Amino acid sequence: MKAAVFHHPGKIVCEEVPDPKIVDPQDAILRVTSTAICGSDLHIYDGYLPQIKNMIPGHEFMGIVEEVGPEVKNLKVGDRVVVPFPIACGCCFFCQHELPGHCEHSNKNYGPEGGLLHQKGAALFGYTELYGGVDGGQAEYVRVPYADTGPRKIEGDLTDEQVLFLTDILPTGYTGIDWANIQGGETVAVFGCGPVGLMAQKVAWLRGAKRVIGIDKEAYRLEAARRTAQSETINYKEVDPIEAIREMTDGRGADVCVDAVGMEAERSTLDKLGNVVHVQRGTINALRNCFSAVRRGGFVSVLGVYGMSYDNFPIGQIFDKGLQIACGQAPVHKYIDHLIDIVQQQKIVLDDIITHRLPLSEISHGYDIFKKKEDNCVKVVLTP
């Protein structure tokens, strides 16, 4: 089959590889009909998360069931499904507590410690050996472990593009807003107007926010926020976003701030020198902005990925402001059935953020323009 293959940072190419096979009686084989490039894939592409072996990336995919293992009861050949990006067994302590991203059984590197090179939670499709070493869905076919737990059938005439983002970015954006327990009437500021940030903005309106503000430096992403999420926008290259948000909120700050950027936020030369001294990668600048822009007693949702510890973490500011913080991988299995209903009822639109549609053979080009933010690239969808 044809598949995207990660070789080393900066090199992902389309190649011929062996077809996946059933290796466990709970597996299914899926013929991928649509897949996408996620901002989290760039963490591997850029070398922020270590990966030495070649592997197939991709955790946003959907398709048609081609084969099922003997213990799979909920799926049959021909079913059309979307697949949550965490791989969860459905029966361990964490799965039973609606925390599929911490499944005790799917990842051979599972353990309670956490951290960059320490024990991890659940396996994730196409997301390094640390997260299970399970090949992802940027391919013609993919093996899906625990097939009775993750995949959800898609009935009716919804197109792939209308439902593909149920795999990750919609549940992730929804998670950040749900964590904050929005009741209606709040001001929500989302740092980052990439795909996850746009979904968080859409969901904030859905949950009753009074004002939604998108913050970014790229003019085309800010335009996407205004066009697809009807958000107010701030270009942090033109104005101080913290002061701008305070001016918009009677000096208090936003009720909720969402970090949809993570460790790959823009860094200064001083930041880069600090990384060398403290043996760090990336930065917490987006997170710092959230802590400053949120009001006292407010809530910060961290959806952007952070892979390690960082020096000078502002715990004193967090304590003094009495902030609540939630972070981590989205518990997709917890929300996906509700979100399917929302999409079917047309309460939220997903496909309007797609800017590029490419064949899988052009995967290298897709990664290149997405990383470099060229050609006004917001979201790339690929057809195997």
Q: Do 142 and 32 meet the contact criterion of CB atoms below 8 Å apart? A: yes
**Both 155 and 222 in a single domain?**
no
pLDDT at 312: 85
Predicted TM-score (pTM) of the model is: 0.93
- What is the CB neighbour count within 10 angstroms for residue 317? 12
Concatenating the DSSP letter of every residue in 86-130 gives EE--SSSHHHHTT-GGG-SSS-TTB-S--SSSS-BSSEETTSTGG
Q: Name the token pair of 27.
A: 């597996």
The residue among 298, 327, 356 that closes a domain is: 327
Segment 32-71, tens digit of pLDDT: 999 999 999 999 999 988 899 999 999 999 999 999 999 9
The total number of structural domains that make up the chain: 2
Segment 359-379, tens digit of pLDDT: 999 999 999 999 999 999 999
Asked if residue 264 has pLDDT above 80, the reply is: no
Asked if residue 244 has pLDDT above 80, the reply is: yes
Q: Which residue, among 286, 298, 288, has the nearest Cα to 252 in the 3D structure?
A: 298
**Both 316 and 350 in a single domain?**
no
Segment 126-137, tens digit of pLDDT: 999 999 999 999
- What is the CB neighbour count within 10 angstroms for residue 161? 16
187-208 average pLDDT score: 98
277: left (phi over 0), alpha (psi -120 to 50) or beta: alpha
Q: Name the token pair of 209.
A: 């926010």
204-211 average pLDDT score: 98
Helix (H) or strand (E) holding 191: strand 187-191
Domain range for 213: 173-327
pLDDT band at residue 321 under the 50/70/90 scheme: very high
- What is the CB neighbour count within 10 angstroms for residue 278? 12
Is 50 or 175 the better-scoring residue by pLDDT?
175
CATH number at residue 30: 3.90.180.10
Weakest-pLDDT range from 153-157, 221-225, 248-252, 272-276: 272-276
**Both 211 and 316 in a single domain?**
yes
d(Cα 301, Cα 75) in Å, to the nearest integer?
Answer: 35
Q: Do 77 and 68 meet the contact criterion of CB atoms below 8 Å apart? A: yes
Q: Do 286 and 259 meet the contact criterion of CB atoms below 8 Å apart? A: yes
Q: Do 226 and 233 meet the contact criterion of CB atoms below 8 Å apart? A: yes
The residue among 327, 347, 375 that closes a domain is: 327
**Both 203 and 116 in a single domain?**
no
Q: Name the token pair of 168.
A: 């990750």
Q: Which residue, among 135, 136, 127, 204, has the nearest Cα to 170 in the 3D structure?
A: 204
CATH number at residue 233: 3.40.50.720
Q: Is the sign of the CA dihedral 289, 324, 192, 278 positive or negative? A: positive
Asked if residue 278 has pLDDT above 80, the reply is: no
The residue among 327, 355, 372 that closes a domain is: 327
**Both 259 and 125 in a single domain?**
no
